[in-house]
Amino acid sequence: MSVVTEPKLISGNSNRPLAHSIARRMSMHRGMSVGLVDTRVERFNDGEIFVEVYENVRGEDMFIIQSTSNPANDNLMELLIMSDALRRSSADRITAVIPYFGYARQDRRTKARTPISAKLVANLLTESGVDRILTLDLHAAQIQGFFDIPVDNLYASPVFALDILHHFKGKMNDVMVVSPDVGGVARARELAKRIEAPLSIVDKRREKAGEIAGMTVIGDVSGKKCIIVDDICDTAGTLCKAAEVLMEAGATEVHAYITHGVLSGPAVERVSKSVMKSLVITDSIEPSETVKACPNIRIVPTAPMFAQAILNTWSGTSVSSLFETETLTPIYEGMYTRD
């Protein structure tokens, strides 16, 4: 006799606020309280990670919410050990919900004698007992092929489109989407199509790795409110430089929509002093107090989208439906209006 189980959420330490937000959204959808499984995740004196799950998970559909952001190695090990603990506790299915997939930038060999670390992480996750992956805006779509288990890669662009249409209401004729490099054109084009805006490109020229020799704007941005779109902002050096180049080319305003706000080192200070009017990021990585205090950084929530994706995964319904504006609009009802 089959038993219908409810989806159960469990979280590591990488982004507890997001995990609690997802649980609250699922409670709203389900009409019943959804909480996080009571768990102990701590470290021994030498730094070893220990996990203990206090609730029975036998035969349950488990969802581990854990970004592999800074400290990347600690958070990755927490995810692996939690998965192993659940597997050995006879969980029926384990889904790793990874809002920010670390090591994704190492998705190919850029030179001789270098690793493909994203593939290594994929192998580690699979061997730890993870049955499927739910993530957001992978740095490169081909990383899905590194896994021999199902991978659902959500996109921030539908949510960004709702945000742009809301905040630039009545000014959409002046908006232009900008890709910060040639490699990001597909991502920028997809957003531009959603909001029916033209597309421009900032072409970078490098003389050696890590140093930008020059930037050229491809397209006429004169009199436009430019929106730079990308998946990751780390130190923000390239982003701030691109904003300056766009302003010099005649743009009236520059905004940036970035999925994963890594924002390491001098990033926040650079953004606060830059010509950018706003930097919009998601909460896929838990924002620091410095990020929250920065006046021109704004955070868009991903909990509504992840909560619905988890419910769809649990119930066996379409996750790709969340790529459509018609599906996301009611999920984000109350946050954005277009009329």
Residues identified as active-site: 204
Q: Tell me the C-alpha distance between 272 and 24, whole Å.
A: 32
Q: Tell me the C-alpha distance between 320 and 324, whole Å.
A: 8
Give me the residues paired with residue 64 across strands: 10, 96
Instruction: For residue 36, give the DSSP letter.
Output: B
Q: Are 269 and 294 in contact (CB under 8 A)?
A: no
Q: Tell me the C-alpha distance between 91 and 236, whole Å.
A: 41
Q: Tell me the C-alpha distance between 90 and 37, whole Å.
A: 15
Which two three-digit tokens encode residue 162? 């709702």
Q: Tell me the C-alpha distance between 292 and 277, whole Å.
A: 16
Half-sphere exposure for 161 (CA within 13 Å, toward CB): 22
Q: Are 63 and 39 in contact (CB under 8 A)?
A: no
Q: Packing angle between helix 185-195 and helix 157-167, nearest 10 degrees?
A: 50
Which own/partner contact pairs does 195-203 have at CB distance under 8 Å and 24+ positions apart?
195/161, 195/164, 195/165, 196/172, 197/172, 197/227, 200/176, 200/224, 200/226, 202/178, 202/228, 202/242, 202/245, 202/246
